[in-house]
Amino acid sequence: MISLCSSYTVFGQNPNPTKRQPKDLMLKVLNNLDARSVALCLVVSRTWNLVASSDLLWTSKCEELWNGKAHIPRLSLVRGISKLDAYSLSVMDGKRNRIVKDDLCDHVWEFHFTKAAPEYWRNLDPYWRGNGPPMHRYFHPDGSQTADPGDKVWGGHECCYSIVTSIIGEGKIREHYVRINRWLPLTVFRKQDWSWEMSNNLYCYSSVPDAYKEGGTGPLFLVM
Mean pLDDT score of the chain, rounded to an integer? 87
Question: 212: buried, middle or exposed (CB in 10 Å: 19+, 13-18, 0-12)?
Answer: exposed
The pLDDT of residue 21 is 55
106 or 17, higher pLDDT: 106
Whole-number Å distance between alpha carbons of 4 and 11: 11
Residues in the chain: 224
Is residue 16 scored above 90 in pLDDT?
no
The pLDDT of residue 3 is 42
Whole-number Å distance between alpha carbons of 88 and 210: 21
Residues 13, 59, 220, 97, CA torsion sign: negative
Which residue stretches of 53-94 are H helix? 55-66, 83-94
Domain ranges of the chain: 1-53, 65-224
Percent of the chain at pLDDT > 90 equals: 63
Give the mean pLDDT of 114-136: 94
| pLDDT confidence tier of residue 18, bands split at 50, 70 and 90 | very low
pLDDT in tens, 36-75: 888 888 877 888 888 888 898 899 999 999 999 999 999 9
Is residue 5 scored above 50 in pLDDT?
no
pLDDT in tens, 97-123: 999 999 999 999 999 999 999 999 999
Whole-number Å distance between alpha carbons of 31 and 57: 6
* Residue whose C-alpha is closest to residue 77's, from 184, 215, 221, 220: 215
| pLDDT confidence tier of residue 25, bands split at 50, 70 and 90 | confident
The pLDDT of residue 8 is 41
Give the Cβ contact number of residue 220 at 10 Å.
Answer: 12
pLDDT in tens, 145-188: 999 998 989 877 779 999 999 887 776 778 999 999 989 999 99
Contact between residue 203 and residue 209 where contact means Cβ atoms under 8 Å apart = no
Contacts of 109 (CB under 8 A, 6+ apart): 136, 137, 138, 139, 205, 206, 207, 208
